Amino acid sequence: MAKSKGSPYPRVFVNTTLAVICLLWLIPTLGLFVSSFRPRDEIMSSGWWTILPHRVWVTTEQFTPDPSIDRSGVMNFEGATGTFEQLRQGVESPDGKRVIWIGNRRAGTVQVQEKEWTGVPATTLQNYHDVLAGKSVTIEGNGEEAARRGEDMSDAFINSMAVTFPAVVIPILMAAFAAYGFAWMRFPGRKLVFALMVALLVVPLQIALVPVLTDYVHLRLNGTYMAVWLAHTGFGLPLAVFLLYNYISTLPREIMEAAIVDGASHFKIFWRLVLPLSTPALASFAIFQFLWVWNDYLVALIFIGNVPGVQVLTMRLADMVGSRGSDWHLLTAGGFVSMLLPLIVFFSLQRYFVRGLTAGSVK
């Protein structure tokens, strides 16, 4: 007897809901991406969604009203009737045209506009050039040009990589060693130490900053990359040990026993067997740690300081918001540059992500 299939409607409802949520979630990112390629004048005058084909009012005729017209009463131009205040806002005529009064009541002009479809939107790569390598930026507006100091975020990009890569690799290696020990080695107090390690997950980062900073000052580590590497390693180790223990403890016991019978040491088993077999869990934590460190602002600000030569990307973007709050073309380009490397890391390792997180969840 063939197994009856369930109704497809619940699945369609779930998929549709998820698609809508994903679309809503992606809209800000799409707006950031589109705005990063738009010229400054376009960003200041219209929203990013205006790149889509749409109809806009285009002036087809302009003239000066007859001086004999009573401008305090109701006026009629090209079939559109209204007072001066209404014409200032624009009045549509029955044939679809719009008449709008430009200027003051006595010396103004009248424009007749019609709706036309927009053409190909203007785009530029100058925003990225100004952000990544621009030593000076030329601002154009109202027929004038002004040269301003550029951002040149390339050094901040390199600083972020110098902070992030060691802060990801160090806790992964330490947590992998610890997880193997907790999972496959027997020693007194093993469960108690593991419980204490996992309990550190509930300790808020903020309450540990001042004591750690005090110790760094005594050790003369403050203001160095080593301080940030150690801080991120300490804050990330509890989650890393917990994730990797759940995965490593589920590896087949027969493989470990066969390696021991063949004379392999614990280090050899860990290096030759456990690490290659734990790639999904290692990749999952690498994604978490990379995103956390790359987007971190607080830890870097406290332990490195806001010195221009060692600023990471988050610090530089925060400075740009303060100093260039109206230059959206630079802020959007800088924001998207900061997203590129995390996106590359995530999509490179995403095939391991779910498998690494769910490992050990079902016994």
- For residues 290 and 165, what is the distance between their CA atoms, to the nearest angstrom? 8
Cα three-residue angle 152-317-227, rounded to 5 degrees? 95
What DSSP character marks residue 50? G
12-57: pLDDT as tens digits = 889 999 999 999 999 988 888 888 888 888 888 788 888 888 788 8
285-318: pLDDT as tens digits = 899 899 999 999 999 899 888 777 788 888 888 8
Q: What is the mean pLDDT of the chain?
A: 84
- For residues 33 and 28, what is the distance between their CA atoms, to the nearest angstrom? 9
**DSSP assignment of 294-343, as one string?**
HT--HHHHHHT-S-GGG--HHHHHHHHHHH-TT-HHHHHHHHHHHHHHHH
Strands of the chain (E only): list them. 55-63, 75-77, 80-82, 91-92, 98-102, 109-117, 136-141, 144-149
Structure tokens given for 356: 């690494």
142-169: pLDDT as tens digits = 556 666 666 677 888 889 999 999 999 9
Looking up tokens 């330490």, which residue turns up? 174
* Range with the poorest average pLDDT among 252-266, 311-325, 334-348: 311-325
Residue 7, amino acid: S
- Give the residue among 232, 233, 216 at the shortest CA–CA distance from 224: 216
Report pTM: 0.74
Radius of gyration of the chain (CA): 31
Looking up tokens 């009856």, which residue turns up? 4
- For residues 99 and 111, what is the distance between their CA atoms, to the nearest angstrom? 6
- For residues 31 and 50, what is the distance between their CA atoms, to the nearest angstrom? 11
Q: How far apart, in Å, are the Cα atoms of 57 and each of 50, 109, 117?
A: 13, 17, 9
- The H or E element that residue 182 is part of is helix 154-184
Looking up tokens 């890569």, which residue turns up? 165
- For residues 182 and 360, what is the distance between their CA atoms, to the nearest angstrom? 14
Task: Indicate if the pLDDT at residue 192 is higher than 90.
Answer: yes
Residue 110, amino acid: V
The sign of the torsion formed by the CA atoms of 30, 31, 36, 37 equals positive
In the prediction, which pLDDT does 335 show?
Answer: 86
